[in-house]
Amino acid sequence: MVTYDTKKNSWHCPCARTKRSCPHKYVAKWHLFQTHRELFRKVRSTEEGKHLSTATEDKDSNDEAELGSQLYPPKDIQKLKDITMYIYKYKKLPAVLPEHLRLPSMEKEYPRHLIPEELMCQHCPGNVPLSDPVLITQKAKILTNLCIVQDVSTYCKSCHQCGAQYRYQEWKDGLHNFNDHVLLSLPLCLTIRNMLQVHTAVSRVIEYLELTTGQRFPSADTVLQGYLHFEALTEHDYQYSCMTCGDHPPVVIMDLHKKGAFHLSVSDLPQPPVDFNGEVDVEHFWEALSMEKIGRGFVSSK
């Protein structure tokens, strides 16, 4: 007998593993499609698209979440830009976090079901309700200074009218969602920032955390990308002021030029546009860089 869990959007048949297809499931899907078509949504879960280190990868994570007729995360470049820009504009963290969110605590309990807080579409005029939450994964992990919280469920929503998609990105819970599968606690993000400021590599931070917690963390690259995602969404107060040029010097020189030098042929560098006058819009530059880092939460850096 084939069963369908509408809450988890999963199919089960005695002849096949939970996340594998079989003829019985196909027949059951066809039958339900004919009799209860409203049950069907059609979006692949991010379970099969995300790649973590061997220690944290769910090898059987290729079930499909379903969200209208759209994929999540979207494959269309413009839709990716739209969801990234929405997060960049409306989900930023303040430069100074409240103290209860900055300090690690053994008593802190994180939510296990992470659902987008939006109820109405933020792009459509009027009050257009979003879809019900759709499960992305039940195997997400929250990385903290003290442990790894396992088996966390993340969800997404979509607008049936414009197709906009929404995911959980709420810093007030003390969490930073990187890619729906790996989330970092805010104290851990601040710990990584402080360690980098005293010249400690992220890989060393991961080694320290693994020795302290006795648990195996995702790869250093995954954690680094998650941390950079956090910084891209954080407001920053820059205090730098040049004694000659003031608060906004046209050029900032590194302490040693050789630190920024590497072997690269000049012929390998792309030519600037013909109308380039040597000036760079610094706000546009940092926005583009932040958007790229936020986009890593939807596409692999590999």
| 65 within some domain | yes
Q: Say if residue 116 is preceded by a cis peptide, omega within 30 of 0.
A: no
Residue 151 confidence (pLDDT): 95
Q: Is residue 71 part of a domain?
A: yes
Task: For residue 221, give its domain range.
Answer: 41-238+286-295
Nearest Cα neighbor of 142 from 212, 226, 78, 34 is 226
Asked if residue 178 belongs to a domain, the reply is yes
Q: What are phi and psi of 147, to 5 degrees?
A: -170, 180
Residue 115 lies in a domain: yes
> d(Cα 45, Cα 137) in Å, to the nearest integer?
7
What is the pLDDT at residue 43?
Answer: 43
209 within domain boundaries: yes
pLDDT at 69: 57
How long a stretch of residues is the chain?
302
Distance CA 288, CA 282 (A): 10
Neighbours of 112 (CB within 10 A): 13
Assigned domain for 264 exists? no
100 assigned to some structural domain? yes
Question: What's the domain count of the chain?
Answer: 1
Residue 190 phi/psi, 5° resolution?
Answer: -70, -35
Q: Is residue 10 part of a domain?
A: no
CA 203-206-194 angle, to 5 degrees, is: 85
pLDDT at residue number 236: 85
pLDDT at residue 46, rounded to an integer = 42
pTM over 0.85: no
Distance CA 150, CA 166 (A): 23
Q: What is the pLDDT of residue 276?
A: 85
pLDDT of residue 65: 52
What are the mean pLDDT values of the chain's consecutive 10-residue runs (302 residues total)?
73 74 80 72 43 35 50 88 95 93 87 94 92 93 95 94 94 96 97 94 95 95 96 84 66 54 73 84 88 91 58
- CB contact set of 244 (below 8 Å; sequence gap of 6+): none
Q: What is the pLDDT of residue 18?
A: 64
